[in-house]
Amino acid sequence: MREFSTEVTGRTVGLDIGDRYSHFCIVDTDGSLVEEGRVRTTESAMQRHFRNVGPMRVVLEVGTHSPWVSRLLESCGHQVLVANARKLRLIYAGDRKNDRVDARCLARVGRLDPQLLAPIRHRSGSAQADLAVLRARDALVRARAQLVNHVRGTVKAWGGRLPSCSTPAFPQRVHSSVPDALLPAVDPVLATIAELSQRVRAYDRHIEHLSATRYPETAVLRQVNGVGPLTALCYVLTLEEPNRFRKSRSVGSYLGLCPKQYASGELQRQLRITKSGDVMLRRLLVTAANYILGPFGPDCDLRRWGDHLIERGGKYARQRAVVAVARRLACLLHSMWVNDTVYEPLRHSVPIAA
């Protein structure tokens, strides 16, 4: 568990970051109000206001601006705590909610017990920039899928039906099957799909280059069948520092793949997974788990364990097994990364004789 010094910083600042202006509240060690105000949410304004005021503990809520603001405040010599928004029910469920009140709440909670904020740690600037490449590729893939569905739906509503094919080959394969009356509407969309496919391939080449030159540890993770360059790089960039997890099992919870807990007395409920953490990495791990449990998945410990869960039956047995395999895969990748080990698909099982 992270520990926070109270000796270095005598004052605590609650900073509620807005898109144009950010409200701040400063309290001393006794909780007395020292100063309130607002500052423009720009790098120059933040530096002018917080650079020469002495070291303080600054508490802010995670959000769009929190990565660069936290790095800037740390460069000014302050101790920065980025609060987990899921743990701030005091703010988002309050009867009086405005920027000034939110800043006060952040300051007072940060002064009393920082652990109540469940503080998170933002990744470095270089990792954020490289991860932006993966997110941009993901946005193009989603846009392309939406356009493909639009074309199929348009033709189907006309009474036609387009042949099945891969997404990259979609524009060339289906053009001849589009009714002539719909060509003026569909042709520009097909051209856009083709261009998006070219952009996605360019991103794939760039991701391969990044993995080989700047993140060679991804080669260790790619030993597992179903984990490609995209999943491996996203995993490395999201975790960034594997040694901050004392146990590999903690990674599954960090990525939101563990079920919520509700137990009170004799009552125990089985709930859905938390879905906290990075959405894209969680989706990629679930995709890898689907491949491992699918018809083309190789024989390995993960597959056998997942098949056993499916055989046990129950409601949504396969969906539960996929999530469970994704969670175990996340833990396995962390263990391989930390120990730099060679992947053994059947380490805990006996191979099936041909």
Looking at the chain, the whole-number percentage of residues with pLDDT higher than 70 is 94
pLDDT band at 165 (very low <50, low <70, confident <90, very high): very high
Query: Quick check: 15 and 24 in contact, CB under 8 A?
Result: yes
What stretch of H or E contains 196? helix 183-213
pTM reported for the whole predicted model = 0.85
* CA dihedral sign, ordered 253, 258, 262, 267: negative
What's the pLDDT at 22? 95
pLDDT digit string (tens) for 40-77?
Answer: 999 999 999 998 888 999 999 999 999 999 999 999 99
Query: Quick check: 151 and 174 in contact, CB under 8 A?
Result: yes
Q: Which of 304, 282, 280 is nearest to 293 (CA)?
A: 304
What's the pLDDT at 4? 47
3-state SS assignment for residue 61: strand
Instruction: Tell whether the model's pLDDT for residue 19 goes beyond 50.
Output: yes
3-state SS assignment for residue 173: helix
Report the alpha-carbon distance of residue 338 to residue 331 in Å, rounded: 11
pLDDT band at 1 (very low <50, low <70, confident <90, very high): very low
Partner residues linked to 38 by β-bridges: 23
Q: Which of 231, 65, 239 is nearest to 134 (CA)?
A: 231
Kindly report the average pLDDT of the chain as a whole number. 90
* Single-letter residue type at 227: V
Q: Provide CB contacts within 8 A for 267, sequence distance 6+.
A: none
What's the pLDDT at 96? 74
Instruction: Tell whether the model's pLDDT for residue 343 goes beyond 70.
Output: yes
pLDDT digit string (tens) for 112-139?
Answer: 888 888 888 888 889 999 999 999 999 9
Report the alpha-carbon distance of residue 208 to residue 308 in Å, rounded: 35
Instruction: Tell whether the model's pLDDT for residue 8 goes beyond 80.
Output: no
pLDDT digit string (tens) for 72-93?
Answer: 999 999 999 999 887 777 666 6
Q: What is the DSSP code (8-state) at residue 189?
A: H
Query: Quick check: 329 and 292 in contact, CB under 8 A?
Result: yes
What's the CA dihedral at 289, 294, 297, 300 to 10 degrees? 60
What's the pLDDT at 6? 43
The mean pLDDT value for 189-202 works out to 97
Q: Which CATH number fits domain 12-117: 3.40.190.290, 1.10.10.10, 3.40.50.2000, 3.30.420.40?
A: 3.30.420.40
> Domain boundaries in the chain?
12-117, 125-214, 229-339
Instruction: Tell whether the model's pLDDT for residue 94 goes beyond 90.
Output: no
Partner residues linked to 261 by β-bridges: 270
The mean pLDDT value for 187-198 works out to 97
Report the alpha-carbon distance of residue 149 to residue 161 in Å, rounded: 12
Count other C-beta atoms under 10 Å from residue 341's C-beta. 13
pLDDT digit string (tens) for 273-297?
Answer: 989 889 999 999 999 999 999 999 9
Instruction: Tell whether the model's pLDDT for residue 189 goes beyond 70.
Output: yes
Instruction: Tell whether the model's pLDDT for residue 269 goes beyond 90.
Output: no
Which range has highest mean pLDDT (76-90, 161-175, 257-271)? 161-175
pLDDT band at 313 (very low <50, low <70, confident <90, very high): confident
Instruction: Tell whether the model's pLDDT for residue 148 goes beyond 90.
Output: yes
